[in-house]
Structure 1
Amino acid sequence: MMTTSDVGRSERASMLTIGRRPLAVRVRPGAGTGPPLVLMNGIGATMDVLDPFVDALDPAIEVVRFDAPGVGASPAPTVPQRYCSIARLLGAALDRLDYGRVDVLGISWGGGLAQQFAFQNPRRCRRLVLAATATGSLMVPGSPTVLAKMVTPRRHTDPDYARRIAGSLYGGSLRADTGPVPLNKSVDAIGRRSSRRGYAYQLLSAAGWTSLPFLPLIRQRTLILAGADDPIVPLVNAKIMARLLPDVRLEVNPDGHLGLIVRAEQLGDSVARFLGQP
């Protein structure tokens, strides 16, 4: 079952029912002929989180985004789903939308899902973009104080708290609010509703998961976008992934964990160039 409506910025919103699981999806039609780009968000973040990036991205690129189960308009499942199950759910949603080959971009938690999707769908996934992400449970972690702020969804429900911790949690230009996108706008982008159960289920979906064994088997051309000052995912993680992936380009920007939002124009251009390469 699928229900569709028009939303702002020339996008189409759909509520797909895959089996008995509803999934909120939004599509920005593209003017070009290349594969659509599927966006996978960070933990607890709704599809709106990447509005600045989508607005900056070449309009020729069709964009597909969704709320992960338990986030935003997608209800939480009855039990937690592993990355592999969510990747299958997304594949079924793309079938329903009549998409064949796609490009995939994942940020943070969504970067783990993007790696899993690329591994499970070697023919369907053409290109892979990984932003502010790592290899899962076997990674170089941020400091304990940073991780303590990550295990609670409070930053998604309390805007004042989110602004107070933004600099120390996300790093980069948000430490001094000097980025191209102001702190308030960046924090407001991630401060959209997420159920506590959905947030906990997302944490559990990645518990014990690691991409280290299969990264050398990912043959898709890959772009890694990493911030030089990312307290959540230290830069060394991007360098580890770059050593393991067979066909990869690593781009380091001077920002932090929210570089894709704070530097949407710059990184949007990087992504568009990468996807447009023959």
Structure 2
Amino acid sequence: MSDAALLDHERVVYVGRRSVRVRVRPGTGDGPPLVLANGIGVPLEVLDPFVAALDPSIEVVRFDVPGVGGSPTPAVPHPYQLVAQLLGRVLDELGHDRVDVLGISWGGGLVQQFAFQNPRRCRRLVLVATATGSLMVPGRPAVLRHMLTPRRHRDPVYARRVAGDIYGGALRLDATGSPLQARAQGGSSRGYLYQLLGTAGWTSLPWLPFIRQRTLILAGDDDPIVPVVNARIMGCLLPNARVEIYPDGHLGLLTRAPELAASVATFLAEA
């Protein structure tokens, strides 16, 4: 396949009256596509470094959740269950019957929900810098307060000032050019609030043992938002999971993209 054929293809997928911005990178292999679910308040472009580092044989599907990037803000907050259902319908429109899924941070909760609702459709699950929702070991309150506002995505000066404290890892040493600032489109403040409200009270803790898909859990050893103990808890509860700890923070999927992309590709290729 030529390099030109591997360029991302962007489109808007319509599910009823709702439109969802989607970007697909074709793969050279014949395995199922990898669907990526992003963190709160950030559009699909943020994952560019990871996608660029990922094995080109893997087809990659990215999307903006409602209220982020190119997907319009809904009239009311959408809980994870509804967003997971919406994702399934988007995949129907794309013609994908069986997929692997990867979620980082907020997106990690979404893909847990998707895997639970779609045990046959979801082949494998990758959870990055995420936890079990409202029943988890939380970060420090001073850190979590920053998560209540999208300001860190919109104010570059503020973002650089707080990046090390919020995300830890490599950004403690150098927050210049933080990965979250390299984004083409933002989301509305209402969309950000709706993402928060849609997950209020949600937890996967009671039903994680019923997720039978093989799962890779990636967690940073210096993650102020999601302490690493949460990965170990999920690893104990998920029947077919393994945990890999990397030496970085909450955004390790971006700051250590080549290393973690290789880990994900290896996991997806395992027999």
Q: Which runs of 5+ in 1 are unaligned?
A: 1-6
Q: Which residue of 2 aligns with 1:143?
A: 140
Deviation, 1:187, is: 3.7
Summarize the Cα distance change of 1:188–1:83 in structure 2 as closer, same or farther, 3 Å threshold.
same
Partner secondary structure for residue 135 of structure 1: coil
Structure 1 contact 215–245 (Cα < 8 Å) conserved:
yes
Structure 2 contact 102–125 (Cα < 8 Å) conserved:
yes
Letter in 1 for 2:251: L
Deviation, 1:9, is: 6.8
- Deviation digits for residues 193-228 of structure 1 (CA, Å, limit 9, x no counterpart): 121010000001110000001100000000000000
Structure 1 contact 84–116 (Cα < 8 Å) conserved:
yes
Structure 2 contact 41–192 (Cα < 8 Å) conserved:
yes
Partner secondary structure for residue 268 of structure 1: helix
Deviation, 1:188, is: 1.9
Letter in 1 for 2:256: R
Q: Is 2:3 the counterpart of 1:10?
A: no
Separation (CA, whole Å) in 1 of partners of 2:182 and 2:40:
13
2:196 to 203, 206, 211: 203
Separation (CA, whole Å) in 1 of partners of 2:88 and 2:159:
33
Deviation, 1:186, is: 1.9
Q: Is 2:185 the counterpart of 1:188?
A: no
Letter in 1 for 2:43: T
2:18 to 21, 25, 36: 21
Structure 1 contact 157–192 (Cα < 8 Å) conserved:
no
Partner secondary structure for residue 40 of structure 2: coil
Scaled by the length of structure 1, what TM-score is found? 0.94
Aligned structure 1 segments of 4 or more residues deviating by more than 4 angstroms: none
Separation (CA, whole Å) in 2 of partners of 1:9 and 1:183:
30
Q: Which residue of 2 aligns with 1:160?
A: 157
Q: Is 2:232 the counterpart of 1:235?
A: no
Deviation, 1:190, is: 5.9
Q: What's the % identity of the aligned pairs? A: 66
Q: Is 2:77 the counterpart of 1:84?
A: no
Separation (CA, whole Å) in 1 of partners of 2:162 and 2:135:
26
Deviation, 1:126, is: 0.1
Partner secondary structure for residue 65 of structure 1: strand
Deviation, 1:16, is: 1.0
Separation (CA, whole Å) in 1 of partners of 2:182 and 2:245:
23
Deviation, 1:263, is: 0.2
Summarize the Cα distance change of 1:190–1:211 in structure 2 as closer, same or farther, 3 Å threshold.
farther
Q: Which residue of 2 aligns with 1:3?
A: none
Superposition RMSD in Å: 1.5
Scaled by the length of structure 2, what TM-score is found? 0.96
Letter in 2 for 1:106: G
Partner secondary structure for residue 177 of structure 2: helix
Deviation, 1:10, is: 0.5
Q: Which runs of 5+ in 2 are unaligned?
A: none
Summarize the Cα distance change of 1:143–1:37 in structure 2 as closer, same or farther, 3 Å threshold.
same
How many correspondences in the alignment?
268
Structure 2 contact 123–213 (Cα < 8 Å) conserved:
yes
Letter in 2 for 1:18: V
Q: Which residue of 1 aligns with 2:38?
A: 41
1:198-277 paired onto structure 2 within 5 Å? 198-277=191-270
1:169 to 166, 170, 184: 166
Structure 1 contact 163–187 (Cα < 8 Å) conserved:
no
Letter in 2 for 1:129: V
Deviation, 1:173, is: 1.2
Structure 1 contact 225–250 (Cα < 8 Å) conserved:
yes
Q: Which residue of 1 aligns with 2:110?
A: 113
Summarize the Cα distance change of 1:20–1:221 in structure 2 as closer, same or farther, 3 Å threshold.
same
- Deviation digits for residues 112-168 of structure 1 (CA, Å, limit 9, x no counterpart): 000000000000000000000000000011111101100000011111111111100
- Deviation digits for residues 4-43 of structure 1 (CA, Å, limit 9, x no counterpart): xxx9970111111101111000000000010000000000
Q: Which residue of 2 aligns with 1:73?
A: 70
